[in-house]
Amino acid sequence: MRFSRIDLNPGSGEPAANSPQELLLGCHARIRHYIQLGRTLASARGVSEAEVADAAAAIFRYFSLALPMHEGDENETLYPRICASQPEGSLVLEAAETMVEQHRAINELTAELLALCATLDRTPNRLAQLAPNLDHVTRAMEQVFGAHLHLEETVIFPALADLFPPEVITEMLNEMNDRRRPPRSGLHLVQ
């Protein structure tokens, strides 16, 4: 596959989400996309160094900037509200606890992927040498994320609308959108 046919920035032109579930599912589509891009990069042959560097930089950007916001949505916006509303032993609470636990393993794999992609962005001529490591880590991410995203999509996200009143759903969506707002310019401080 040629990288020139891969969208390096999927979802960038999409309209704003109308619900937390919609926003979170959009993130999941991008997580799957960038893991797939990593798998493609690991098996790429005969592509230019510029294409390798572009793909590595796009993967690095997504997993270093966007994934932490998605985890923030789940760890800081969803999880505390589920804990506060659900009795001990409830299915959704147990799934939410598993979700937070799985984020730790995901972050370890992500750190490995980021290190590889940073190296390939700087020195794309090392792709053949690093491809086995990239193959290993993206294969592991595909497996770990496969189970993780499935748990969230089948147990946690569908329950939100039943667990919380509309005003709490709106509050969660606002919190998630705020998380993505660029920090306000510091220029006003320099007067």
Alpha-carbon span 54 to 117, nearest angstrom? 10
Alpha-carbon span 87 to 102, nearest angstrom? 21
Q: Quick one: which segment of 33-41, 78-86, 147-155, 170-178 binds Fe ion (CB under 5 A)?
A: 147-155
DSSP string, 34-59: HHHHHHHHHT--S--HHHHHHHHHHH
Interface positions, 90-129, toward Fe ion (CB under 5 A): none
Comparison of 74 and 121: residue with beta carbon closer to Fe ion: 74
Comparison of 44 and 67: residue with beta carbon closer to Fe ion: 67
CB of 6 to Fe ion, least distance (A): 22
Q: Which of 21, 54, 74, 117 binds Fe ion (CB under 5 A)?
A: 74
Report the helix count and the strand count for the chain, using DSSP H and E: 8, 0
Comparison of 118 and 155: residue with beta carbon closer to Fe ion: 155
| Site membership for Fe ion, residue 73 (CB under 5 A) | no
Burial 147-161 (b: 16+ CB within 10 A, else e): ebbebbeebbbebbe
CB of 113 to Fe ion, least distance (A): 16
CB of 145 to Fe ion, least distance (A): 8
Q: Which of 52, 58, 60, 152 binds Fe ion (CB under 5 A)?
A: 152
Burial zone of 182 (CB within 10 Å; 0-12 exposed, 13-18 middle, 19+ buried): exposed
Contact residues: Fe ion, CB under 5 A? 74, 152
